[in-house]
Structures are given as structure tokens and as C-alpha cells.
Structure 1
Amino acid sequence: MYRAILTAAALAAATPLAAEPIRFAVTDIEGLEALQQEFAAFETALEEVTGMEMELFPVNSRTAAVEAINQGQVDLVLTGPAEYVVIKELTDAEIIAAWQRPNYYAQIVTLSAGDVESVEDLRGKKVTFGSVGSTSQHLGPAQVLADFGLVYGTDYEPQIISRNVAVEALIRGDVQAVGMNEGHLQSIREAFPEQSFTVIARGRDLPNDVLVARKDMDAEAKQKIADAFVNDGETLMAAVLKGDDNQKYKGGFFLTSIDDSNYDYVRDMYATIGVDTASFVGD
């Protein structure tokens, strides 16, 4: 009996405790159910190629994601470029991989039959932007106008209005331009087929979405995950595309040779609207 107890104790000492699962969050998805609908297949695929257990971890806001990183509650966070620069400043998280979104750029849209034919025609006019702090609906379009020489809040009047409401205001003549991305333009052309819209300016391709890791996450685990995006990228992307809202990544791929400086253009956007990167726009 004594020998049996010693043997059991020896086995217990020699067997490492089960590793904690790698917890994965996404900043623009609220609730576990929605997160599972979009990323359950990706969770499974990442487990299979890394041999590590994954766990989906819902956060109800980008601020909650920062708190979860700093408290060690989450290991990986997928976020957009505008959110990334704030998360980097507040947590010093490390980039694992960028997730490319094809045709991801900001543009300024007007009515084809309207009086605005160039960016210069927007001086003194009203320009609307979508979701506050959004890379492609707010910060990006504002930077497009800045790149063409128009100062935010000085050379034109910026307004934050939801996209469809803004387009209706554009049609009525209450505003003169709307900032949006390419996918949004396709949607409004479908929603308002009787209208003709013109892009008077578009920006450079926006930096990609990015998967970051908590700085003090286990180094070996981080390397395994980074290697998975290099060696099994097609498998992981196929799993990502199982989610309906993840179709924005269709035709894209993962990039692992990404430096924080690739997001300086986004930091310029914050400066353009007069906000620093110590907090999220609108918080």
C-alpha cells in the first residue's frame, strides 16, 4: 500500500499540470455566441495545427480587451488598425500576424449629379463619417482629405452619422460628401440603385487587421502560433472564412513580417483629427 502511494505520488510529480488554454478575443464582436459563430472553425483549426488548446474569450468593448490583456485574462486579440495603435500604447502587446483585407481603403463619395466635383469643392461644406474611430469610415477618410490639403474641422464641417442615414442626407443635399470604404460603397449602390455616386478621392490601402499577443505570454506558445500562420496559413484562412462577417478577409492572406512602424499612418490619422493614441476615439 505504501509503495503504491509512493508510485502514485512519483507519477503525479513527473506529470506536468495541463497547460492553460490559449485565450483568443476579437475587439469588434460582442458576446460568446457571436464569437463562436465567426471563429469556432478557426479555433479548431488553430488547435489542430499547433497542438495547443484554444479558448474563445468574448470582450464587450475594445477597452475591455485592453483590461483583459493587462490582467492576463486573454492571450491573443484580433483587432483593427485604429484599435491596434491604442492597444499597443496601453499594453505593449506584440504583433503575431497581420490579416489582410483586400480592397481595404478609405474614400470620399459624392453624388454624381451634385455640385462637388473635387476635394477643393468641399471647403466650407459638410462631410459625414461613419462609426466614430473606425479606420475606414472615420479616421481614414479624414486622412484622405488631409492628404489633399483640407484641415479637419477647419476647412470643412465633419459630422458623425451612420452610413445609410448619411447617404440619405447626401441625396437630400443636407451634406456634400460621405467617407466610407469600398465595401460600403458597393452596399449603398445596391441600396440606392436609382442614384449615381462618384468617388472624388481615395486613400492608400489601409494597414491590415492585426493579431496581437500579450507581451508576457509564453514565448514558446507565441512562436508556435506565429509558425502556424506561416506554415498553415491556407488552412487557417479557410477556417476564418467559415464566418459570415469574416468574408472581408476573402482573397487575403496572413503576413508575419510586420513591424509596429507599419501602423504609423494610422497614428497620423489620430493626429489629423486632433486625438492622441492614449485612448480610443469616442471613449
Structure 2
Amino acid sequence: MKLKALVSGVFAVSTLFATSALAGPQSCPSTLRFADTGIEGMEEMVRTYHQFQEKLGGILDINIEFFPVSDRTATVNALQFEQVDMILAGPSEYAVMRARQDVKMMVGIERTEYGTAFVVHEDSGIYSLEDLRGKHIAMKDPGSTTGHIIPSMMLNEAGFDIDRDLRISLLDGARFEALVNRDVDAMGSGVRDVARLEERDPNGRYRVIAESDTMPRDIFVARGGISDACVAYVSEKMYEHGDALMDAILGPGERRKYVGSRFVNDLTEDEYDRITEAYALVGFPLN
């Protein structure tokens, strides 16, 4: 049987067709434990991914169980102790995982409008990143790709010492209100958050002063102990049924960030090197 086998490990994921008698449900554990690094708690996992769980289990003919993780550190620990088999991660989370544990690339999700934007009040007198010197900036949560790592890198590349030249507050969901109420001078967050900001403050007037390039894709990651044959089988099936799986992810309405997204199988390690470099540039340890 010809399969779109996906090269895992330190090299690349590509549309490689291979024949393997081992690549099927029998090559995998009878149950695959699934986690999303952006979801905390079993209740939220069930609410967000119950349709995906049922759809993927049926496609693979494998039982899918949830294993919720509380943060990035918990994810790495779960990998170390073989408590989880498959994880959906953002670029930052994957950069941390591959630095600390043996993991294998699977398929990815290519998101629309996936980048960082710096936004300010239109009457702020701030027109560029250079104007942020001495200002107070709201960002998301520690380690967020578009809400922490990349905006910090952008400021660094603009010539700032982010510890001395300005003030950064990691406010997570409170970052919107902080900017609306002018408790901060600017917000560095995801591109889509600009629309969310305007929805929260329809009478406000805002200006985007800088945007990043498009980010690397989100990625499904297998723990290192999962066989290559299983990784190839699961990846091929997920890519083949990508539209149905995306509908299942979007169905409950909890993962709106994936609206307009698609499954991809052309991931390479190189695209995540950019995130690793960003961590080093801004002085955040991966290990």
C-alpha cells in the first residue's frame, strides 16, 4: 500500500510515498494519549476536542484518550515519563520540546493571520517600534509565540534592551483591557488580536505600528518512543482526512484560532530554528 509517509526526527516531514506492511493500526499502541499545550484541565479538553477525539479514533481505528497538561513544563515532563503519546503544539512549545526530549514531527496546521502585531491608540503619538522607548507594553503569557517570544525578538532587533529600555507586562487575557484603559502604551500580541481588541472597544481608534512575518506552523508531535511506522500511519491518515478533522476541531467553537486553517505535511525542522534563535536572542532558556 502506498502511503504518504512523513519523515520524522531531526530531518524533515515531506510527502514521501513508501510501502510498509507495518504501517497501520497494529503499528501503534492500542490507545494514543493526546494533549494540547494550550488547553488546561480535563473538562476543557473534553469540551474542546470531543468531536476531534471521536473522528480521529474512527479514522485510525485506535482509541484516543485525553491527557491534559497545565503548562509547557508539564508537557515536557509528560513526555519524559511517557504519559502522553501525541501533542498539538505551537512553534514555541515545539522548540522547547525538541530541545528537552526525544520527539518526532507529524503533520502540522497552517493558520491564517498567524503573526505578531504591535497596536497602539491612534492618538498616542506612537508610530513605530522606535517610539516605544520608555513605554509600557502589554503582552500575553510567558512563552507564547506571537504574544511573547516574537514581540520580544522584534523589540530586540529594533535595538532595545527589553529589560532596561521599556517595561513589559505579561497580562494574558487582561492585555486587552490594559490597552483599552490606557494602563499600557501598546500591546504586542497576535495579529488576530487586533480585531478582538476592536470588538471589545468598538468606539476606540487603534493603529498597528509593526507586524512580524508569518509564524511557523502548529505541529502534532509524537513522543520519541512511538514507532516510525505508527508516526507515518497516523500522519498519513490525518493529512488524508484533514478537512474532516479540521471541521471536528472547529465544531465545538473553542478553537476559533484555527478558522481558515488546513492540515499540512511539509514541515521541516528548519522553520522552527527561527523560534529557537528567538529564544536565544531574547535570553529565554530552552533547556
Indicate the residue corresponding to 1:138 in structure 2.
Answer: 148
Tell me, in whole angstroms, the C-alpha distance in 2 between the residues paired with 1:167 and 1:184.
9
Shift of 1:85: 0.8
CA contact (8 A) 1:129 1:163 kept: no
Shift of 1:159: 2.5
- Partner of 2:75, secondary structure, is helix
Tell me, in whole angstroms, the C-alpha distance in 2 between the residues paired with 1:245 and 1:197.
27
Which one of the candidate residues 262, 273, 280 is aligned to 2:271? 262
Moved more, 117-126 or 82-91: 117-126
Which one of the candidate residues 253, 263, 286 is aligned to 1:277? 286
Question: Identity of aligned pairs, percent?
Answer: 30
2:215 is the counterpart of 1:179: no
Which one of the candidate residues 212, 215, 218 is aligned to 1:209? 218
What TM-score does the superposition give when structure 1 sets the normalisation length? 0.85
2:257 is the counterpart of 1:239: no
Deviations 1:125-150 (A, max 9, x none): 22222212211111121122233333
- Partner of 2:254, secondary structure, is helix
CA contact (8 A) 1:107 1:144 kept: no
CA contact (8 A) 2:109 2:219 kept: yes
Tell me, in whole angstroms, the C-alpha distance in 2 between the residues paired with 1:53 and 1:71.
20
Tell me, in whole angstroms, the C-alpha distance in 2 between the residues paired with 1:253 and 1:169.
33
Q: Which amino acid aligns with 2:224?
A: K
Tell me, in whole angstroms, the C-alpha distance in 1 between the residues paired with 2:115 and 2:238.
24
Which one of the candidate residues 54, 78, 90 is aligned to 1:80? 90
What TM-score does the superposition give when structure 2 sets the normalisation length? 0.84
What is the number of residues matched between the two proteins? 261
Which one of the candidate residues 96, 99, 106 is aligned to 1:89? 99
- C-alpha spacing 1:253/1:115, structure 2 compared with 1 (3 Å): same
Rg: which structure is higher? 1
2:259 is the counterpart of 1:250: yes
CA contact (8 A) 1:229 1:256 kept: no
Indicate the residue corresponding to 2:44 in structure 1.
Answer: 34
Q: Which has the higher helix share?
A: 1
- Partner of 1:39, secondary structure, is helix
Tell me, in whole angstroms, the C-alpha distance in 2 between the residues paired with 1:249 and 1:60.
21
CA contact (8 A) 1:127 1:178 kept: yes
Point out where structure 1 has 5 or more consecutive residues left out of the alignment: 1-15, 279-283
